[in-house]
C-alpha cells in the first residue's frame, strides 16, 4: 500500500484511511522519563552487556521556558477567548482538530450539554495535519462538553435493522483540562501540562452573541469517553416479550403509555426541545409501536384516507429488521409523519413517529428495532425467516454457530518447534499501552479481561490450523512517541518500570509472551534499546521497532514520517543475536511498515542465525490494500516471517481469521490493535 499526501478524498474515503495507520499528530500523555530499573540478579549464568550501536545522535532540543506560576484552585477557572458574532439568541463554538494519525479523518464533533438536555453535531472532512478547524454555528447558551469521534468508525450499539453490536465505549478525543492547559485557558502547573495531565472534559460556557474560541479537540488519550449522544448504544431499551420485539428510544424520552398491543414513546415532561441538528437531538414529537392484523398496503391506504390532505413523501418496500416493510412518509401541516408496516407471521407491526423537527431520531429508533422469538400464539404456517443478530466483532472467528466440531487432524508428522522460536508457531498479539486505550486494545481493559479476550482471539486461529501452536502475545509500546519535545527534547516518554514489570510478571505466570515496542522519536535508538535490554534477557520477551516514529533533528513524530535503514536493522539484529547467544533462546524482531519511505536500503538487510525477523504489514483500511502491502513486503529483501496487523475499530471491514490465514504464506505474527 503506497501512500501519498496527494491521495484525493473525493476518490475514496477509505483509500486515505487505509494508507496510514494512526500516528500521533496530537501528543500522547508522557510520564516522567524514568531511570533504567535496577537490575536484580537474574537467574542466569551470564552478565548482560550492550554492544554500542553506531546510530547518529541528533542535537538535543533546548528545554522549554518554565511556565508561569499556576493557580492553586482545582478545577481552575477557564478563560477561553470570545469574539462577538451578532447572533441575537445563540452562540458558537470554534476550535482546532487533532488526531493520532498522519491524516485527520472525517470527524463528528459534538457539543453536549452538561445536563444532558441537548447536543449539537458538525461533521468535518478528511484533511492533512496542520491547522484544521471546526465551527458549531448555532448553539443555545449553556454549559457544554466538546468531543470528537472518527465519523467512519462503525457506529456501536445498533442492532436489528441497523446491524452492528455494542462496544464498551468509542474511541474519541475531547476538549479536556489538558487541552485547555495547552491552549492557555488557565495557567499551567510548574511541571507543565503533561506532567500530570488531567483528561476530564472541561466545561465550555456558551453565551448569546459570542463565539467561544480555541475549544480544541485535542486530547485523545484520556479514559474512555461516553458514547456519542446519537449513538444508540447509550439509549434505553424497551422490550415486549409477548409481542417479541425490542426497540431503543432517545435518552430524554420516556415510555408514555404501555397498553395491550401498543406502546408510545415521547420526550420526558416538561419537554425542552433543542434546535434540531440533522441526526442530532430529538425535538418534540412521539413514536409508537402497535401490533394489528391485516394487509400492509390496505392498512396504509386506510390511514392516508383518514388524515388531512398532505404530500406523500415516500411509499416503498424496504428491508426492516430482517423482513420487508412498507415505508410510508407523509408531509402534513402538523409535521412529518412516518410509518413502517411490517408483516411477520400473521401480525402487522406498525412503527410510527411524528416530530416537528425531522425524522432523524426516529430513523435511529428503527435501526435499533429487533424481533425476538416468535410472538404468542405462534401461527402454524410461517414463511418469514427469523433474523440473526450479527456476531460480536471482537474477538473474530470464522466458525459458524452451531457447526459440529471437525475431527482433530493428525499432527504427528509435524516436528515440535524448538524452544522459544517463531518457527512452527503462530503468534497472536494484542497491541497497545497498558495504561490506556488510546493506542490499541492492550490497555482498554484490566489485565484479566485482556487475557480472556486475547485467548479467545487466539483460539480462532488454533481452530483453523490445529497443528501449529498458537501463542498469545502482549505487544506493549514501552517508548511512546509524542508530538511535543518534553523536558529532554526527545519527543517521547516511557512506560514506567513498575507498570511494565506488573504485565511481564502476569505474562510469565499465564504463559503469554511479550513484545516490547520502541517508538524512539528523536532519541537515539541505542538509548531506547539500552532501557529495555535487561528485560530482553528474560524468557519469551522480544522486540519491535516502529520506524514511523524514528525522526531526525527538526522533525516531529506524527507530523513527519519516520524511517530506518537496512544497516541500522542489521545493527539491532546483531545486538539481539548476542543476547540470544547468552540466553540460549532465539529472539524475535518485528519491524512495522506501511509506506515505502519508512525503510531505506532494504537490500543491505542480512540474516542473523538467532534472530527471527518479522515484517509486519501495518496500516488500517480495506482487505485489498492490506493484502497488497503484505504481498509486496514478502517479495522484498529482509522478509523472513510475515506479520499482519488488524484494527478492530478502523479496518473496513475487519478481515476474519480465515481471510488472514488465506494469505500466502499465512502470517506467523498477527497483531490486533
Please spell the DSSP secondary structure of 315-351, one letter per residue: EEEEEETTEEEEEEEEEETTEEEEEEEEEETTEEEEE
**3-state SS, one letter per residue, for 455-504:** HHHHHHHHHHCCCCEEEEEEEEEEEEECCCCCCCCCCEEECCHHHHHHHH
Cβ neighbours, 10 Å, residue 604: 14
CA distance 369 to 349: 11
Q: What is the mean pLDDT of residues 304-308?
A: 85
- Sequence-distant contacts of 659-667: CB under 8 A, at least 24 apart: 659/623, 661/461, 661/464, 661/465, 663/627, 663/630, 663/631, 664/631, 664/634, 665/634, 666/426, 666/465, 666/642, 667/426, 667/630, 667/641, 667/642, 667/643
> At 576, which helix (H) or strand (E)?
helix 566-583
pLDDT of residue 408: 55
Of 568, 576, 585, nearest in space to 638 by CA: 568
The C-alpha cell that represents 563 in the structure block: 524511517
For the chain, percent of residues with pLDDT exceeding 70 = 72
CA distance 663 to 654: 15
Residue-range domains of the chain with CATH: 82-227 (2.60.40.1120), 235-371 (3.40.1000.10), 423-672 (3.20.20)
Dihedral (CA of 569, 551, 98, 187) sign: positive
116 CB-contact burial (10 Å; exposed 0-12 / middle 13-18 / buried 19+): exposed
Q: Residue count of the chain, please give it.
A: 673
pLDDT of residue 53: 54
pLDDT of residue 375: 57
CA distance 442 to 472: 12
pLDDT of residue 335: 67
Query: pLDDT class for 316, splitting at 50, 70, 90?
Result: very high
Structural contact between residues 625 and 18, judged by C-beta atoms closer than 8 angstroms: yes
CA 601 to chain centre: 33
- Average confidence score pLDDT of the chain: 77
CA distance 667 to 424: 12
Q: Which of 242-251, 254-263, 568-577 is predicted most confidently?
A: 568-577
Any idea what DSSP says for residue 550?
B
- State the virtual CA torsion across 238, 239, 243, 249 in degrees, nearest 10: 20
CA distance 137 to 27: 28
Of 360, 295, 364, 353, nearest in space to 328 by CA: 353
- State the virtual CA torsion across 79, 80, 81, 83 in degrees, nearest 10: -110
Beta bridge partners of 615: 591, 642
**280 has a pLDDT exceeding 70:** no
**Contacting residues for 140 by C-beta, under 8 A, at least 6 apart:** 89, 90, 91, 118, 206, 274, 275
CA distance 627 to 500: 33
Query: pLDDT class for 402, splitting at 50, 70, 90?
Result: very low
- Sequence-distant contacts of 388-394: CB under 8 A, at least 24 apart: 388/322, 389/159, 389/160, 389/165, 390/163, 390/164, 390/165, 391/165, 392/165, 393/154, 393/165, 393/648, 393/654, 394/167, 394/441, 394/453, 394/457, 394/648
E strand spans, 53-131: 82-84, 91-96, 107-113, 119-123
Query: pLDDT of 226-243, one tens digit each?
Result: 877 766 777 789 998 888
**137 has a pLDDT exceeding 80:** yes
CA distance 426 to 657: 12
Beta bridge partners of 592: 616
Q: What is the mean pLDDT of residues 304-332?
A: 87
Q: What is the mean pLDDT of residues 563-576?
A: 94
Query: pLDDT of 543-568, one tens digit each?
Result: 999 999 999 988 888 888 899 999 99
CA distance 535 to 523: 20
CA distance 550 to 629: 21
Dihedral (CA of 87, 90, 96, 99) sign: negative
> In degrees, to the nearest 5, what angle opens at C-alpha 153 toward C-alphas 148 and 156?
95
The C-alpha cell that represents 7 in the structure block: 491521495
**19 has a pLDDT exceeding 60:** no
pLDDT of residue 383: 34
pLDDT of residue 392: 35
The C-alpha cell that represents 218 in the structure block: 485535542
End-to-end CA distance of the chain: 19
Query: pLDDT of 478-535, one tens digit each?
Result: 999 988 888 888 999 998 898 899 999 999 999 999 999 999 999 999 999 999 999 9
Structural contact between residues 204 and 80, judged by C-beta atoms closer than 8 angstroms: yes
Cis peptide before 68 (omega within 30 of 0): no
Amino acid at each position: 500500500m503506497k501512500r501519498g499526501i496527494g491521495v484525493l478524498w473525493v476518490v475514496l474515503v477509505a483509500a486515505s484511511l487505509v494508507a496510514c495507520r494512526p500516528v500521533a499528530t496530537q501528543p500522547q500523555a508522557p510520564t516522567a522519563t524514568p531511570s533504567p530499573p535496577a537490575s536484580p540478579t537474574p537467574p542466569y549464568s551470564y552478565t548482560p552487556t550492550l554492544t554500542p550501536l553506531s546510530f547518529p545522535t541528533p542535537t538535543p532540543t533546548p528545554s522549554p521556558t518554565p511556565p508561569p506560576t499556576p493557580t492553586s484552585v482545582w478545577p481552575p477557572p477557564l478563560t477561553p477567548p470570545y469574539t462577538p458574532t451578532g447572533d441575537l439568541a445563540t452562540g458558537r463554538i470554534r476550535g482546532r482538530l487533532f488526531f493520532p494519525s498522519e491524516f485527520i479523518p472525517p470527524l463528528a464533533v459534538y457539543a453536549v450539554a452538561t445536563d444532558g438536555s441537548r447536543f449539537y453535531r458538525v461533521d468535518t472532512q478528511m484533511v492533512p495535519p496542520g491547522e484544521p478547524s471546526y465551527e458549531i454555528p448555532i448553539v443555545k447558551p449553556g454549559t457544554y462538553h466538546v468531543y470528537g469521534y472518527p465519523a467512519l468508525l462503525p457506529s456501536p450499539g445498533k442492532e436489528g435493522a441497523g446491524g452492528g453490536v455494542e462496544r464498551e465505549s468509542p474511541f474519541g478525543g475531547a476538549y479536556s483540562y489538558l487541552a485547555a492547559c495547552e491552549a492557555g485557558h488557565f495557567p499551567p502547573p510548574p511541571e507543565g501540562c503533561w506532567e500530570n495531565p488531567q483528561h476530564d472534559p472541561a466545561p465550555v460556557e456558551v453565551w448569546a452573541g459570542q463565539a467561544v474560541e480555541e475549544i480544541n479537540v485535542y486530547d485523545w488519550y484520556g479514559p474512555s469517553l461516553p458514547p456519542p449522544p446519537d449513538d444508540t448504544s447509550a439509549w434505553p431499551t424497551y422490550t415486549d416479550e409477548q409481542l417479541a420485539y425490542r426497540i431503543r428510544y432517545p435518552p430524554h424520552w420516556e415510555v408514555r403509555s404501555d397498553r395491550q398491543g401498543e406502546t408510545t414513546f415521547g420526550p420526558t415532561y416538561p419537554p425542552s426541545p433543542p434546535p434540531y441538528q440533522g441526526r442530532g437531538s430529538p425535538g418534540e414529537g412521539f413514536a409508537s409501536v402497535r401490533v394489528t392484523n391485516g394487509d400492509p398496503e390496505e392498512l396504509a391506504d386506510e390511514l392516508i384516507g383518514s388524515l388531512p390532505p398532505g404530500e406523500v413523501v415516500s411509499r416503498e418496500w424496504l428491508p426492516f429488521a430482517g423482513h420487508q416493510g412498507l415505508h410510508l412518509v407523509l408531509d402534513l401541516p402538523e409535521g412529518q409523519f412516518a410509518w413502517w408496516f411490517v408483516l411477520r407471521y400473521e401480525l402487522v407491526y406498525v412503527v410510527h413517529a411524528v416530530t416537528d423537527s425531522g425524522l432523524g431520531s426516529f430513523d435511529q429508533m428503527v435501526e435499533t428495532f429487533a424481533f425476538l422469538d416468535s410472538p404468542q400464539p405462534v401461527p402454524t404456517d410461517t414463511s418469514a425467516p427469523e433474523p440473526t443478530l450479527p456476531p460480536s466483532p471482537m474477538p473474530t472467528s470464522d466458525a459458524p454457530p452451531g457447526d459440529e466440531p471437525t475431527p482433530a487432524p493428525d499432527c504427528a508428522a509435524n516436528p515440535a518447534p524448538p524452544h522459544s522460536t517463531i518457527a512452527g508457531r503462530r503468534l497472536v498479539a494484542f497491541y497497545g499501552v497498558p495504561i490506556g486505550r488510546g493506542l490499541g486494545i492492550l490497555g482498554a481493559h484490566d489485565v484479566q479481561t485482556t487475557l480472556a479476550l486475547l485467548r479467545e482471539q487466539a483460539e480462532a486461529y488454533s481452530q483453523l490450523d490445529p497443528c501449529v501452536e498458537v501463542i498469545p502475545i502482549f505487544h506493549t509500546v514501552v517508548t511512546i512517541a509524542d508530538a511535543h519535545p518534553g523536558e529532554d527534547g526527545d519527543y517521547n516518554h516511557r512506560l514506567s518500570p513498575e507498570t511494565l514489570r506488573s504485565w511481564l510478571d502476569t505474562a510469565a505466570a499465564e504463559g503469554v509472551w511479550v513484545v516490547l515496542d520502541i517508538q524512539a522519536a528523536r532519541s537515539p535508538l541505542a538509548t531506547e534499546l539500552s532501557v529495555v535490554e535487561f528485560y530482553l534477557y528474560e524468557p519469551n520477551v522480544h522486540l519491535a521497532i516502529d520506524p514511523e516514529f524514528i525522526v531526525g533533528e527538526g522533525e516531529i513524530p506524527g507530523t513527519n514520517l519516520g524511517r530506518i535503514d537496512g544497516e541500522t536493522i542489521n545493527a539491532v539484529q546483531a545486538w539481539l543475536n548476542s543476547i540470544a547467544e547468552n540466553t540460549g533462546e532465539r529472539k524475535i524482531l518485528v519491524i512495522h511498515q506501511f509506506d515505502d519511505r519508512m525503510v531505506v536500503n532494504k537490500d543491505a538487510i542480512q540474516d542473523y542465525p538467532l534472530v527471527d525477523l518479522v515484517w509486519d504489514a501495518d496500516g488500517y483500511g480495506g482487505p485489498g490494500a492490506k493484502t497488497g502491502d503484505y504481498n509486496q513486503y514478502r517479495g522484498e529483501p529482509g522478509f523472513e516471517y510475515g506479520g499482519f496487523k488488524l484494527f478492530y475499530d478502523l479496518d473496513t471491514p475487519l478481515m476474519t481469521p480465515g481471510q488472514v490465514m488465506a494469505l500466502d504464506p499465512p502470517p506467523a505474527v498477527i497483531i490486533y490493535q
